[in-house]
Structure 1
Protein backbone atom coordinates (compact mmCIF):
# COMPACT_ATOMS: atom_id res chain seq x y z
CA UNK A 1 0.00 0.00 0.00
CA UNK A 2 1.38 3.41 -1.00
CA UNK A 3 2.42 5.65 1.90
CA UNK A 4 0.09 8.49 0.85
CA UNK A 5 -2.85 6.07 0.90
CA UNK A 6 -1.74 4.84 4.32
CA UNK A 7 -1.50 8.48 5.38
CA UNK A 8 -5.06 9.15 4.23
CA UNK A 9 -6.45 6.08 6.01
CA UNK A 10 -4.67 6.88 9.27
CA UNK A 11 -5.59 10.57 9.04
CA UNK A 12 -9.21 9.60 8.49
CA UNK A 13 -9.06 7.49 11.64
CA UNK A 14 -7.34 10.31 13.57
CA UNK A 15 -9.76 12.99 12.40
CA UNK A 16 -12.84 10.90 13.18
CA UNK A 17 -11.71 9.55 16.55
CA UNK A 18 -9.63 12.36 18.13
CA UNK A 19 -12.53 14.31 19.60
CA UNK A 20 -14.98 11.46 20.07
CA UNK A 21 -14.64 9.56 23.38
CA UNK A 22 -13.47 6.36 21.67
CA UNK A 23 -9.63 6.67 21.66
CA UNK A 24 -7.78 7.92 18.59
CA UNK A 25 -4.48 6.35 19.72
CA UNK A 26 -6.17 3.01 20.28
CA UNK A 27 -7.73 3.06 16.83
CA UNK A 28 -4.44 4.10 15.21
CA UNK A 29 -2.63 1.19 16.89
CA UNK A 30 -5.27 -1.23 15.61
CA UNK A 31 -5.39 0.21 12.07
CA UNK A 32 -1.58 0.25 11.91
CA UNK A 33 -1.76 -3.53 12.26
CA UNK A 34 -3.92 -3.65 9.13
CA UNK A 35 -2.08 -1.16 6.89
CA UNK A 36 1.29 -2.45 8.12
CA UNK A 37 2.59 1.02 8.90
CA UNK A 38 5.29 0.41 11.48
CA UNK A 39 8.67 1.60 12.69
CA UNK A 40 9.88 4.78 14.36
CA UNK A 41 8.36 7.03 11.68
CA UNK A 42 4.89 5.51 12.20
CA UNK A 43 5.07 6.39 15.91
CA UNK A 44 6.00 9.99 15.06
CA UNK A 45 3.33 10.12 12.36
CA UNK A 46 0.59 9.00 14.76
CA UNK A 47 1.50 11.84 17.14
CA UNK A 48 2.29 14.65 14.71
CA UNK A 49 -0.87 14.32 12.56
CA UNK A 50 -2.76 15.38 15.70
CA UNK A 51 -1.57 18.89 14.83
CA UNK A 52 -4.23 18.96 12.10
CA UNK A 53 -6.89 18.21 14.69
CA UNK A 54 -5.53 21.02 16.91
CA UNK A 55 -5.88 23.47 14.02
CA UNK A 56 -9.49 22.43 13.50
CA UNK A 57 -10.33 23.40 17.10
CA UNK A 58 -8.58 26.75 16.75
CA UNK A 59 -10.42 27.55 13.51
CA UNK A 60 -13.86 26.48 14.75
CA UNK A 61 -13.55 28.21 18.15
CA UNK A 62 -11.48 31.22 17.14
CA UNK A 63 -14.22 33.63 18.21
CA UNK A 64 -14.25 32.13 21.71
CA UNK A 65 -10.50 31.58 22.14
CA UNK A 66 -8.97 34.72 20.62
CA UNK A 67 -9.04 37.50 23.25
CA UNK A 68 -7.62 40.37 21.20
CA UNK A 69 -10.39 40.90 18.66
CA UNK A 70 -11.40 44.54 18.32
CA UNK A 71 -15.02 43.40 18.04
CA UNK A 72 -14.99 41.94 21.54
CA UNK A 73 -16.20 43.77 24.62
CA UNK A 74 -14.16 43.87 27.80
CA UNK A 75 -16.25 41.07 29.32
CA UNK A 76 -15.78 38.91 26.22
CA UNK A 77 -12.01 39.42 26.32
CA UNK A 78 -11.98 38.48 29.99
CA UNK A 79 -13.97 35.32 29.20
CA UNK A 80 -11.41 34.32 26.54
CA UNK A 81 -8.50 34.89 28.93
CA UNK A 82 -10.30 32.89 31.64
CA UNK A 83 -10.69 29.94 29.26
CA UNK A 84 -6.96 29.99 28.49
CA UNK A 85 -6.02 30.22 32.16
CA UNK A 86 -8.20 27.22 32.98
CA UNK A 87 -6.74 25.33 30.02
CA UNK A 88 -3.20 26.01 31.27
CA UNK A 89 -4.12 24.84 34.78
CA UNK A 90 -5.64 21.67 33.32
CA UNK A 91 -2.58 21.06 31.12
CA UNK A 92 -0.02 21.08 33.97
CA UNK A 93 -0.60 17.45 35.12
CA UNK A 94 -0.27 16.07 31.56
CA UNK A 95 2.89 18.11 30.98
CA UNK A 96 4.56 16.76 34.13
CA UNK A 97 3.43 13.13 33.91
CA UNK A 98 3.93 12.96 30.14
CA UNK A 99 7.52 14.12 30.54
CA UNK A 100 8.18 11.59 33.31
CA UNK A 101 6.40 8.53 31.97
CA UNK A 102 5.60 9.11 28.27
CA UNK A 103 8.42 7.01 26.81
CA UNK A 104 7.88 4.17 29.29
CA UNK A 105 4.15 3.98 28.52
CA UNK A 106 4.78 4.05 24.75
CA UNK A 107 7.27 1.20 25.06
CA UNK A 108 5.26 -1.05 27.40
CA UNK A 109 1.57 -0.36 26.78
CA UNK A 110 1.14 0.42 23.07
CA UNK A 111 -0.43 -2.92 22.13
CA UNK A 112 -3.90 -4.23 21.14
CA UNK A 113 -4.55 -5.96 24.50
CA UNK A 114 -4.06 -2.76 26.50
CA UNK A 115 -6.22 -0.87 23.99
CA UNK A 116 -9.03 -3.44 24.30
CA UNK A 117 -9.04 -3.46 28.10
CA UNK A 118 -9.07 0.35 28.35
CA UNK A 119 -11.80 0.63 25.71
CA UNK A 120 -14.03 -1.60 27.82
CA UNK A 121 -13.20 0.12 31.13
CA UNK A 122 -13.82 3.57 29.62
CA UNK A 123 -17.13 2.44 28.12
CA UNK A 124 -18.35 1.13 31.47
CA UNK A 125 -17.27 4.39 33.18
CA UNK A 126 -19.28 6.47 30.69
CA UNK A 127 -22.39 4.31 31.21
CA UNK A 128 -22.13 4.67 34.98
CA UNK A 129 -21.71 8.45 34.74
CA UNK A 130 -24.72 8.82 32.46
CA UNK A 131 -26.86 7.39 35.28
CA UNK A 132 -26.13 10.49 37.35
CA UNK A 133 -26.75 13.06 34.62
CA UNK A 134 -29.02 15.04 36.95
CA UNK A 135 -25.85 16.16 38.79
CA UNK A 136 -24.46 18.01 35.76
CA UNK A 137 -24.80 21.58 37.07
CA UNK A 138 -21.91 23.47 35.43
CA UNK A 139 -23.24 24.96 32.19
CA UNK A 140 -20.65 27.64 31.39
CA UNK A 141 -16.91 28.18 31.62
CA UNK A 142 -17.51 30.94 34.17
CA UNK A 143 -18.82 28.26 36.55
CA UNK A 144 -15.83 25.97 35.99
CA UNK A 145 -13.43 26.61 38.88
CA UNK A 146 -9.64 26.38 38.67
CA UNK A 147 -9.77 23.49 41.14
CA UNK A 148 -12.10 21.57 38.84
CA UNK A 149 -9.95 22.45 35.82
CA UNK A 150 -6.90 20.96 37.57
CA UNK A 151 -8.78 17.81 38.63
CA UNK A 152 -10.11 17.27 35.10
CA UNK A 153 -6.60 17.78 33.73
CA UNK A 154 -5.28 15.20 36.18
CA UNK A 155 -7.91 12.67 35.10
CA UNK A 156 -6.98 13.42 31.48
CA UNK A 157 -3.57 11.87 32.21
CA UNK A 158 -5.21 8.44 32.13
CA UNK A 159 -5.27 8.95 28.37
CA UNK A 160 -1.54 8.27 28.27
CA UNK A 161 -2.64 4.62 28.45
CA UNK A 162 -3.70 3.76 24.86
CA UNK A 163 -7.36 2.88 24.48
CA UNK A 164 -8.44 5.23 27.27
CA UNK A 165 -9.02 8.24 24.98
CA UNK A 166 -7.90 11.75 25.84
CA UNK A 167 -11.34 13.03 24.91
CA UNK A 168 -13.12 10.37 26.99
CA UNK A 169 -10.93 10.86 30.06
CA UNK A 170 -11.45 14.64 29.94
CA UNK A 171 -15.19 14.27 29.40
CA UNK A 172 -15.40 11.70 32.22
CA UNK A 173 -13.42 14.06 34.45
CA UNK A 174 -15.74 16.92 33.58
CA UNK A 175 -18.88 14.89 34.22
CA UNK A 176 -17.47 13.66 37.55
CA UNK A 177 -17.04 17.31 38.55
CA UNK A 178 -20.58 18.19 37.45
CA UNK A 179 -20.11 19.82 34.03
CA UNK A 180 -22.77 19.54 31.36
CA UNK A 181 -22.00 17.35 28.35
CA UNK A 182 -21.41 20.44 26.18
CA UNK A 183 -18.96 22.08 28.60
CA UNK A 184 -17.17 18.75 29.17
CA UNK A 185 -16.78 18.30 25.41
CA UNK A 186 -15.64 21.88 24.73
CA UNK A 187 -13.14 21.82 27.59
CA UNK A 188 -11.85 18.56 26.12
CA UNK A 189 -11.33 20.34 22.78
CA UNK A 190 -9.56 23.31 24.35
CA UNK A 191 -7.39 21.20 26.63
CA UNK A 192 -6.30 19.28 23.54
CA UNK A 193 -4.52 22.36 22.15
CA UNK A 194 -1.56 22.54 24.58
CA UNK A 195 -1.63 18.78 25.30
CA UNK A 196 -1.39 17.71 21.67
CA UNK A 197 0.83 20.63 20.68
CA UNK A 198 3.25 19.58 23.43
CA UNK A 199 3.21 15.96 22.27
CA UNK A 200 3.77 17.07 18.66
CA UNK A 201 6.66 19.36 19.60
CA UNK A 202 8.26 16.64 21.72
CA UNK A 203 8.01 14.11 18.88
CA UNK A 204 9.51 16.57 16.40
CA UNK A 205 12.40 17.39 18.74
CA UNK A 206 13.01 13.71 19.32
CA UNK A 207 12.66 12.40 15.75
CA UNK A 208 12.39 15.38 13.40
CA UNK A 209 15.94 15.23 12.06
CA UNK A 210 15.54 11.57 11.11
CA UNK A 211 12.42 12.18 8.99
CA UNK A 212 13.23 12.01 5.26
CA UNK A 213 11.82 14.35 2.59
CA UNK A 214 9.44 11.64 1.40
CA UNK A 215 8.23 11.05 4.93
CA UNK A 216 7.66 14.78 5.37
CA UNK A 217 5.34 14.66 2.32
CA UNK A 218 3.42 11.80 3.93
CA UNK A 219 3.32 13.65 7.24
CA UNK A 220 2.10 16.98 5.85
CA UNK A 221 -0.61 15.27 3.82
CA UNK A 222 -1.69 13.48 7.00
CA UNK A 223 -1.93 16.78 8.90
CA UNK A 224 -4.04 18.28 6.12
CA UNK A 225 -6.41 15.31 5.94
CA UNK A 226 -6.87 15.13 9.72
CA UNK A 227 -7.60 18.89 9.83
CA UNK A 228 -10.44 18.65 7.31
CA UNK A 229 -11.96 15.53 8.82
CA UNK A 230 -11.73 16.78 12.42
CA UNK A 231 -13.51 20.01 11.43
CA UNK A 232 -16.52 18.03 10.23
CA UNK A 233 -16.48 15.63 13.19
CA UNK A 234 -16.39 18.40 15.84
CA UNK A 235 -19.39 20.14 14.25
CA UNK A 236 -21.31 16.85 14.11
CA UNK A 237 -20.36 15.89 17.68
CA UNK A 238 -21.47 19.15 19.27
CA UNK A 239 -24.80 19.06 17.44
CA UNK A 240 -25.26 15.42 18.43
CA UNK A 241 -24.74 15.84 22.18
CA UNK A 242 -27.20 18.73 22.37
CA UNK A 243 -29.94 16.12 21.92
CA UNK A 244 -28.27 12.84 22.91
CA UNK A 245 -26.09 11.36 25.65
CA UNK A 246 -22.74 9.56 25.37
CA UNK A 247 -24.13 6.02 25.70
CA UNK A 248 -23.70 5.10 22.03
CA UNK A 249 -19.95 5.79 22.33
CA UNK A 250 -19.78 3.67 25.49
CA UNK A 251 -21.47 0.71 23.78
CA UNK A 252 -19.15 1.09 20.78
CA UNK A 253 -16.09 1.04 23.05
CA UNK A 254 -17.23 -2.09 24.87
CA UNK A 255 -18.11 -4.01 21.69
CA UNK A 256 -14.86 -3.00 19.97
CA UNK A 257 -12.81 -3.89 23.05
CA UNK A 258 -14.36 -7.38 23.22
CA UNK A 259 -13.75 -7.92 19.48
CA UNK A 260 -10.11 -6.90 19.80
CA UNK A 261 -9.60 -9.30 22.73
CA UNK A 262 -11.12 -12.12 20.68
CA UNK A 263 -9.12 -11.33 17.53
CA UNK A 264 -5.71 -10.50 19.01
Structure 2
Protein backbone atom coordinates (compact mmCIF):
# COMPACT_ATOMS: atom_id res chain seq x y z
CA UNK A 1 0.00 0.00 0.00
CA UNK A 2 1.41 3.35 -1.01
CA UNK A 3 1.19 6.31 1.37
CA UNK A 4 0.18 9.96 1.03
CA UNK A 5 3.67 10.92 2.23
CA UNK A 6 5.17 9.12 -0.76
CA UNK A 7 2.72 10.89 -3.06
CA UNK A 8 3.70 14.32 -1.70
CA UNK A 9 7.47 13.74 -1.89
CA UNK A 10 7.42 12.24 -5.36
CA UNK A 11 4.98 14.93 -6.53
CA UNK A 12 7.40 17.64 -5.35
CA UNK A 13 10.33 15.93 -7.07
CA UNK A 14 8.33 15.70 -10.31
CA UNK A 15 7.15 19.31 -10.19
CA UNK A 16 10.68 20.62 -9.63
CA UNK A 17 12.41 18.52 -12.29
CA UNK A 18 9.89 18.21 -15.14
CA UNK A 19 11.03 21.40 -16.85
CA UNK A 20 14.78 20.91 -16.45
CA UNK A 21 16.98 18.70 -18.69
CA UNK A 22 17.84 16.41 -15.78
CA UNK A 23 15.18 13.66 -16.22
CA UNK A 24 12.14 13.89 -13.98
CA UNK A 25 11.49 10.16 -14.43
CA UNK A 26 15.04 9.38 -13.36
CA UNK A 27 14.71 11.57 -10.28
CA UNK A 28 11.45 9.89 -9.31
CA UNK A 29 12.99 6.43 -9.64
CA UNK A 30 15.93 7.48 -7.47
CA UNK A 31 13.62 9.11 -4.91
CA UNK A 32 11.50 5.96 -4.75
CA UNK A 33 14.65 3.90 -4.26
CA UNK A 34 15.71 6.10 -1.33
CA UNK A 35 12.26 5.73 0.27
CA UNK A 36 12.16 1.97 -0.44
CA UNK A 37 8.75 2.31 -2.10
CA UNK A 38 7.19 -0.70 -3.75
CA UNK A 39 8.11 -0.66 -7.45
CA UNK A 40 4.86 -2.15 -8.74
CA UNK A 41 2.45 -1.38 -11.58
CA UNK A 42 0.56 1.09 -9.40
CA UNK A 43 3.72 3.14 -8.80
CA UNK A 44 4.72 3.07 -12.47
CA UNK A 45 1.27 4.31 -13.46
CA UNK A 46 1.45 6.91 -10.70
CA UNK A 47 4.71 8.28 -12.14
CA UNK A 48 3.04 9.02 -15.48
CA UNK A 49 -0.08 10.45 -13.87
CA UNK A 50 1.84 13.01 -11.82
CA UNK A 51 3.96 13.89 -14.84
CA UNK A 52 0.66 14.73 -16.50
CA UNK A 53 -0.12 16.95 -13.51
CA UNK A 54 3.13 18.85 -14.05
CA UNK A 55 2.46 19.14 -17.78
CA UNK A 56 -0.86 20.84 -17.01
CA UNK A 57 1.24 23.78 -15.81
CA UNK A 58 2.61 24.00 -19.36
CA UNK A 59 -0.96 24.07 -20.70
CA UNK A 60 -1.62 27.16 -18.59
CA UNK A 61 1.62 28.82 -19.67
CA UNK A 62 1.18 28.16 -23.40
CA UNK A 63 -2.63 28.23 -23.60
CA UNK A 64 -2.74 30.98 -26.24
CA UNK A 65 -0.23 29.16 -28.42
CA UNK A 66 -2.16 25.89 -28.02
CA UNK A 67 -5.46 27.50 -28.98
CA UNK A 68 -3.81 29.06 -32.04
CA UNK A 69 -2.63 25.62 -33.17
CA UNK A 70 -6.30 24.57 -33.39
CA UNK A 71 -7.32 27.80 -35.09
CA UNK A 72 -9.22 28.94 -32.00
CA UNK A 73 -7.14 32.08 -31.53
CA UNK A 74 -5.51 34.32 -34.09
CA UNK A 75 -1.96 35.51 -33.55
CA UNK A 76 0.74 37.19 -35.55
CA UNK A 77 3.68 35.07 -36.66
CA UNK A 78 6.92 35.60 -34.74
CA UNK A 79 8.87 34.43 -37.78
CA UNK A 80 10.44 36.95 -40.14
CA UNK A 81 9.26 34.77 -43.03
CA UNK A 82 5.66 34.74 -41.83
CA UNK A 83 5.78 30.98 -41.22
CA UNK A 84 3.74 29.66 -38.28
CA UNK A 85 4.13 26.58 -36.12
CA UNK A 86 1.15 24.29 -36.70
CA UNK A 87 -0.27 20.96 -35.59
CA UNK A 88 1.67 19.10 -38.27
CA UNK A 89 4.94 20.20 -36.64
CA UNK A 90 3.72 18.72 -33.36
CA UNK A 91 2.51 15.50 -34.98
CA UNK A 92 5.82 15.02 -36.81
CA UNK A 93 7.71 15.68 -33.58
CA UNK A 94 5.81 13.20 -31.41
CA UNK A 95 5.38 10.42 -33.96
CA UNK A 96 8.79 8.67 -33.59
CA UNK A 97 8.70 8.48 -29.79
CA UNK A 98 5.00 7.63 -29.82
CA UNK A 99 5.42 4.61 -32.07
CA UNK A 100 8.71 3.31 -30.63
CA UNK A 101 7.66 4.12 -27.07
CA UNK A 102 4.56 1.93 -27.33
CA UNK A 103 6.55 -0.87 -28.99
CA UNK A 104 9.23 -0.86 -26.27
CA UNK A 105 6.93 -0.13 -23.34
CA UNK A 106 7.16 -3.58 -21.72
CA UNK A 107 10.94 -3.79 -22.22
CA UNK A 108 11.49 -0.36 -20.66
CA UNK A 109 9.31 -1.26 -17.66
CA UNK A 110 11.06 -4.55 -17.01
CA UNK A 111 14.67 -3.66 -17.78
CA UNK A 112 15.25 0.09 -17.48
CA UNK A 113 13.07 1.23 -14.56
CA UNK A 114 15.78 0.84 -11.90
CA UNK A 115 18.40 3.08 -10.24
CA UNK A 116 21.42 1.61 -12.06
CA UNK A 117 19.82 2.18 -15.45
CA UNK A 118 18.96 5.75 -14.42
CA UNK A 119 22.58 6.47 -13.44
CA UNK A 120 23.76 5.29 -16.86
CA UNK A 121 21.10 7.47 -18.50
CA UNK A 122 22.14 10.50 -16.43
CA UNK A 123 25.75 10.17 -17.55
CA UNK A 124 25.02 9.48 -21.22
CA UNK A 125 22.40 12.23 -21.28
CA UNK A 126 24.89 14.64 -19.70
CA UNK A 127 27.41 13.84 -22.44
CA UNK A 128 24.72 14.58 -25.03
CA UNK A 129 24.03 17.97 -23.41
CA UNK A 130 27.71 18.87 -23.63
CA UNK A 131 27.86 17.78 -27.28
CA UNK A 132 24.72 19.76 -28.05
CA UNK A 133 26.19 22.89 -26.43
CA UNK A 134 29.66 22.56 -27.99
CA UNK A 135 28.63 21.39 -31.47
CA UNK A 136 25.43 23.41 -31.90
CA UNK A 137 24.69 24.76 -35.36
CA UNK A 138 24.16 28.42 -36.07
CA UNK A 139 20.41 28.79 -35.38
CA UNK A 140 18.32 28.90 -38.53
CA UNK A 141 15.18 28.90 -36.37
CA UNK A 142 15.35 31.55 -33.67
CA UNK A 143 11.70 31.09 -32.65
CA UNK A 144 9.31 28.15 -32.99
CA UNK A 145 7.57 29.72 -35.98
CA UNK A 146 10.87 29.54 -37.88
CA UNK A 147 11.05 25.76 -37.52
CA UNK A 148 10.73 23.55 -40.58
CA UNK A 149 9.03 20.16 -40.69
CA UNK A 150 12.47 18.60 -41.16
CA UNK A 151 13.71 20.15 -37.93
CA UNK A 152 10.58 19.00 -36.09
CA UNK A 153 11.21 15.45 -37.33
CA UNK A 154 14.86 15.46 -36.24
CA UNK A 155 13.89 16.74 -32.79
CA UNK A 156 11.36 13.92 -32.65
CA UNK A 157 14.12 11.42 -33.45
CA UNK A 158 16.30 12.81 -30.68
CA UNK A 159 13.34 12.45 -28.35
CA UNK A 160 13.60 8.66 -28.78
CA UNK A 161 16.52 8.74 -26.34
CA UNK A 162 14.17 9.84 -23.56
CA UNK A 163 12.59 6.37 -23.56
CA UNK A 164 15.63 5.45 -21.43
CA UNK A 165 14.94 6.77 -17.88
CA UNK A 166 17.64 9.26 -16.96
CA UNK A 167 18.21 10.65 -20.46
CA UNK A 168 15.50 13.32 -20.11
CA UNK A 169 12.93 14.24 -22.73
CA UNK A 170 13.71 17.96 -22.53
CA UNK A 171 17.47 17.34 -22.45
CA UNK A 172 17.42 15.09 -25.52
CA UNK A 173 15.16 17.34 -27.56
CA UNK A 174 16.79 20.65 -26.63
CA UNK A 175 20.27 19.32 -27.39
CA UNK A 176 18.96 17.66 -30.55
CA UNK A 177 17.21 20.84 -31.59
CA UNK A 178 20.40 22.85 -31.18
CA UNK A 179 22.28 20.28 -33.27
CA UNK A 180 19.54 20.69 -35.92
CA UNK A 181 19.84 24.46 -36.17
CA UNK A 182 17.07 25.44 -33.74
CA UNK A 183 17.85 27.97 -31.03
CA UNK A 184 17.96 26.90 -27.39
CA UNK A 185 14.84 28.93 -26.56
CA UNK A 186 12.82 27.63 -29.53
CA UNK A 187 13.91 24.04 -28.82
CA UNK A 188 12.80 24.38 -25.21
CA UNK A 189 9.42 25.87 -26.16
CA UNK A 190 8.80 23.15 -28.76
CA UNK A 191 9.83 20.48 -26.26
CA UNK A 192 7.33 21.59 -23.66
CA UNK A 193 4.47 21.87 -26.15
CA UNK A 194 5.27 18.41 -27.56
CA UNK A 195 5.21 17.02 -24.01
CA UNK A 196 1.49 17.75 -23.64
CA UNK A 197 0.11 15.12 -26.10
CA UNK A 198 2.93 12.70 -25.25
CA UNK A 199 2.15 12.70 -21.53
CA UNK A 200 -1.59 12.50 -22.11
CA UNK A 201 -0.99 9.51 -24.37
CA UNK A 202 1.48 7.83 -22.01
CA UNK A 203 -0.86 8.23 -19.04
CA UNK A 204 -3.74 6.75 -21.03
CA UNK A 205 -1.59 3.78 -22.13
CA UNK A 206 -0.53 3.02 -18.56
CA UNK A 207 -4.09 3.34 -17.25
CA UNK A 208 -5.39 0.91 -19.85
CA UNK A 209 -2.47 -1.47 -19.39
CA UNK A 210 -2.60 -1.54 -15.59
CA UNK A 211 -6.31 -0.95 -15.03
CA UNK A 212 -6.76 -4.32 -13.30
CA UNK A 213 -3.94 -3.55 -10.87
CA UNK A 214 -5.59 -0.31 -9.68
CA UNK A 215 -8.35 0.06 -7.12
CA UNK A 216 -10.40 2.85 -5.58
CA UNK A 217 -8.09 2.77 -2.56
CA UNK A 218 -5.34 4.09 -4.85
CA UNK A 219 -7.36 7.18 -5.77
CA UNK A 220 -6.20 9.41 -2.85
CA UNK A 221 -2.58 8.45 -3.58
CA UNK A 222 -2.94 9.40 -7.26
CA UNK A 223 -4.97 12.55 -6.54
CA UNK A 224 -2.52 13.95 -3.98
CA UNK A 225 0.48 13.28 -6.23
CA UNK A 226 -1.25 14.87 -9.22
CA UNK A 227 -2.25 18.01 -7.30
CA UNK A 228 1.15 18.42 -5.61
CA UNK A 229 3.02 17.98 -8.92
CA UNK A 230 0.68 20.49 -10.60
CA UNK A 231 1.05 23.14 -7.87
CA UNK A 232 4.83 22.79 -7.55
CA UNK A 233 5.25 22.81 -11.33
CA UNK A 234 2.97 25.84 -11.64
CA UNK A 235 5.14 27.73 -9.15
CA UNK A 236 8.36 26.65 -10.85
CA UNK A 237 7.45 26.59 -14.53
CA UNK A 238 7.95 30.23 -15.52
CA UNK A 239 11.32 30.54 -13.78
CA UNK A 240 12.64 27.14 -14.81
CA UNK A 241 11.66 27.53 -18.45
CA UNK A 242 13.58 30.81 -18.55
CA UNK A 243 16.59 29.01 -17.05
CA UNK A 244 16.40 26.28 -19.68
CA UNK A 245 16.03 28.82 -22.48
CA UNK A 246 19.09 30.82 -21.43
CA UNK A 247 21.44 28.65 -19.37
CA UNK A 248 24.14 26.59 -21.05
CA UNK A 249 23.37 22.90 -21.17
CA UNK A 250 26.81 22.09 -19.77
CA UNK A 251 25.73 23.27 -16.29
CA UNK A 252 22.90 20.76 -16.27
CA UNK A 253 25.34 18.10 -17.49
CA UNK A 254 27.64 18.75 -14.52
CA UNK A 255 24.69 18.40 -12.14
CA UNK A 256 23.74 15.09 -13.74
CA UNK A 257 27.31 13.76 -13.38
CA UNK A 258 27.44 14.84 -9.72
CA UNK A 259 24.07 13.22 -8.95
CA UNK A 260 25.12 9.99 -10.67
CA UNK A 261 28.39 9.82 -8.71
CA UNK A 262 26.74 10.55 -5.35
CA UNK A 263 23.97 8.01 -5.88
CA UNK A 264 26.40 5.39 -7.19
CA UNK A 265 28.40 5.74 -3.96
CA UNK A 266 25.16 5.42 -2.00
CA UNK A 267 24.30 2.18 -3.80
CA UNK A 268 27.80 0.78 -3.24
CA UNK A 269 27.81 1.62 0.47
CA UNK A 270 24.23 0.60 1.25
Question: How high is the TM-score relative to the length of structure 1?
Answer: 0.91
1:137 aligns with 2:140: yes
Shift of 1:81: 7.6
Pick aligned residue for 2:173 from 161, 170, 173: 170
Shift of 1:244: 2.9
Give the equivalent residue in structure 2 for 1:12: 12
CA contact (8 A) 2:185 2:246 kept: no
1:223 and 1:80 mapped to 2: Cα distance? 37
1:22 and 1:97 mapped to 2: Cα distance? 22
CA contact (8 A) 1:56 1:227 kept: yes
Shift of 1:262: 2.5
Shift of 1:74: 7.5
1:49 aligns with 2:39: no
Give the equivalent residue in structure 2 for 1:257: 260
Give the equivalent residue in structure 1 for 2:154: 151
**Deviates most, 131-140 or 79-88:** 79-88
Shift of 1:132: 3.7
1:145 and 1:69 mapped to 2: Cα distance? 19
CA RMSD of aligned residues (A): 2.3
- Specify whether residues 155 and 132 from structure 1 end up closer, same or farther in structure 2 by C-alpha distance, changes over 3 A only: closer
Give the equivalent residue in structure 2 for 1:189: 192
1:61 and 1:241 mapped to 2: Cα distance? 16
CA contact (8 A) 1:175 1:181 kept: yes
1:4-32, CA deviations, whole angstroms, 9 ceiling, x for partnerless residues?
11101001111111121001111111111
CA contact (8 A) 2:118 2:165 kept: yes
1:40 aligns with 2:41: yes
Shift of 1:65: 1.2
Give the equivalent residue in structure 1 for 2:65: 64
1:71 and 1:33 mapped to 2: Cα distance? 45
Shift of 1:71: 6.1
Shift of 1:114: 1.3
Give the equivalent residue in structure 1 for 2:243: 240
Q: Flag structure 1 segments of 5+ consecutive residues without an equivalent.
A: none
Pick aligned residue for 1:208 from 208, 211, 220: 211
SS in 2 for 1:82: coil
1:241 and 1:71 mapped to 2: Cα distance? 27
2:236 and 2:105 mapped to 1: Cα distance? 28
2:90 and 2:73 mapped to 1: Cα distance? 23
1:155-190, CA deviations, whole angstroms, 9 ceiling, x for partnerless residues?
101111111111111111111112111111111101
Shift of 1:151: 1.2
Q: Flag structure 2 segments of 5+ consecutive residues without an equivalent.
A: none
CA contact (8 A) 2:19 2:241 kept: no
- Specify whether residues 162 and 242 from structure 1 end up closer, same or farther in structure 2 by C-alpha distance, changes over 3 A only: closer
1:127 aligns with 2:130: yes
Shift of 1:73: 4.8
Greater fraction of residues in helix: 1
Shift of 1:2: 7.2
CA contact (8 A) 1:113 1:260 kept: no
SS in 1 for 2:19: coil
**Deviates most, 63-72 or 95-104:** 63-72
- Specify whether residues 206 and 146 from structure 1 end up closer, same or farther in structure 2 by C-alpha distance, changes over 3 A only: same
